[in-house]
Amino acid sequence: MPFSRREFFNNAGFGLLLLPALLRSPQTIFRHLLFDPEGPLVPPKPVPANPYTREGRSLVAIVYGKDPRRMLARAIDLLGGCDRLGLRGKRVLLKPNVLNDQPPPSTTNPLVVRAMAEMVTAGGAAEVVVADGSGIIRLPTSANLTSTGMRAAAESAGAKVLALEDEPWVRLEPPEARALTHFYFSRPVYEADLVINMPVIKTHRFAEFSCSLKNFVGAVHPRYRPSVTFWSGDWHERIAEINLAVHPVLTVADGTTTMIEGGPTSGTPSKTDLLICSGDRVAVDLTAIALLRSFGTAPKLQGKRIGDQRQIKRAAALGLGIGSGRGIELMTEAVDPAPPTFTRLVEHIRRELLEA
């Protein structure tokens, strides 16, 4: 992909920020960055059918409220119910965003993850695992899982908790990949029977936005993360191609608090009090971009169709999800009295999706 002058200087700035932080980092981080891990070569898995569609369109639910349990339950009901996920007897892995040790919207709201873990357990899952790998200069993940409250929330719902940099890896060489022809990916995530993606919605200074597709960067070995090769100019395409390793049966995007400017580690928060849920990870990202654009605070997301964002275009070309907002059926509801701003937000998202 062409590498614009602006991207070069933005990414060079990222590199200058990264270097002193790495120099202060534990020796284990250098080991992750300098050496490949051991791991068997495994085949990419086929993309499964979306369990939540109607007449060929991907269903997306947006639910407003104050209680994550009620919000999540209603969102899944709107989509068609938990039974469609086939949870019974399965090992289910929940993948939140635990980027660092900061509260939402830097990280996924632990209460949303707890609600999902409880629902999966009630649905008959044999095992529930909550797992992530933090940002390279924010390792170790184990400490972040504790300080954010994610560990306590997951364990209170009976889930096992994993810090992915401490777990085994597998190697993938997806034939469809062009920007990232081989990489190492978390073995527990790859081998889970079902994966539920649980990102937080936020802007990103370098990747433009961070939600569903971007969330799986945390399951990639640090040596192969897009931020390590920021000079290549294909950050967006690498994010999309990482998703060839895993196909979530459900994505629950946490918008209880949304980062509307800055990001990913810190920025301007907005208390949006919503969840976006779908069986189509790309449809979730299209909807999340529309939400972020409504605030007008992220210049990189403005001035183009949301379907033209490079993460979206590459993911759609790979068959990872819908590439156009016209392929989405949006369903919205409030489980608590909603302010007029929620109605206006939904109207904005609908307009954006029709134009995508």
User: What CA–CA distance (Å, rounded) separates 158 from 34?
Assistant: 36
Place of tokens 């614009």: 4
Place of tokens 């949870």: 87
* Average pLDDT value for residue range 13-40: 61
**The listed CATH number (2.60.40.420, 3.30.70.960, 3.40.50.1100, 3.40.50.11440) that belongs to domain 5-355:** 3.40.50.11440
Q: What are phi and psi of 294, to 5 degrees?
A: -65, -25
* Average pLDDT value for residue range 134-149: 95
**Residue 13: pLDDT above 90?**
no
Beta bridge partners of residue 278, listed in sequence order: 60, 251
The dihedral formed by the CA atoms of 339, 341, 347 and 353, expressed in degrees to the nearest 10:
-120
Q: Report DSSP state, residue 220.
A: B
* Average pLDDT value for residue range 312-331: 96
Q: Report DSSP state, residue 104.
A: T
* Average pLDDT value for residue range 276-293: 98
Q: Answer whether the bond into residue 105 is a cis peptide, omega within 30°.
A: yes
Q: Cβ distance 63 to 333 under 8 Å?
A: yes
- Tens digits of per-residue pLDDT, 121-140? 999 999 999 999 999 889 99
Which amino acid, 66?
A: K
- Tens digits of per-residue pLDDT, 213-233? 999 999 999 999 988 766 667
The pLDDT score that the predictor gives to residue 29 is 62
The pLDDT score that the predictor gives to residue 187 is 98
* Average pLDDT value for residue range 262-278: 96
The pLDDT score that the predictor gives to residue 233 is 79
User: What CA–CA distance (Å, rounded) separates 72 from 93?
Assistant: 17
The pLDDT score that the predictor gives to residue 227 is 80
- Tens digits of per-residue pLDDT, 79-112? 999 999 999 999 999 999 999 999 999 999 999 9
Largest CA distance in the chain: 54
User: What CA–CA distance (Å, rounded) separates 9 from 32?
Assistant: 26
Which amino acid, 56?
A: G
Query: Predicted confidence band at 243 (pLDDT cuts at 50, 70, 90)?
Result: very high
Rounded to the nearest integer, the mean pLDDT of the chain is 91
**Poorest-pLDDT segment among 7-21, 91-105, 285-299:** 7-21
The pLDDT score that the predictor gives to residue 231 is 61
Q: How many residues does the chain have?
A: 356
Q: What are phi and psi of 185, to 5 degrees?
A: -130, 150
How far are the Cα atoms of 136, 188, 216, 231, 237 from residue 164, in angstroms, in the given order? 12, 8, 11, 26, 23
Q: Cβ distance 273 to 72 under 8 Å?
A: no
The pLDDT score that the predictor gives to residue 292 is 97
**Residue 277: pLDDT above 60?**
yes
Distance of CA 67 to the CA centre of its chain: 21
Q: Which residues contact 205 (CB under 8 A, 6 or more apart)?
A: 10, 14, 262, 263, 264
**Residue 190: pLDDT above 60?**
yes
Calculate what percentage of the chain has a pLDDT beyond 70: 89
Tokens at residue 328, please?
């989405």
**Residue 21: pLDDT above 70?**
no
Among the listed residues 249, 150, 121, the one whose alpha carbon sits nearest the alpha carbon of residue 195: 249
Calculate what percentage of the chain has a pLDDT beyond 90: 84
b/e sequence 78-111, b meaning 16+ C-beta within 10 Å: bbbebeebebeebbbbbbbbbbbbeebbbbbbbb
The pLDDT score that the predictor gives to residue 228 is 78
Among the listed residues 195, 225, 222, 224, the one whose alpha carbon sits nearest the alpha carbon of residue 210: 225
Give the start-end residues of each E strand in the chain: 53-54, 57-64, 91-96, 127-132, 160-163, 169-172, 183-186, 194-198, 200-204, 208-210, 250-262, 267-270, 274-278, 328-334
Query: Predicted confidence band at 3 (pLDDT cuts at 50, 70, 90)?
Result: very low
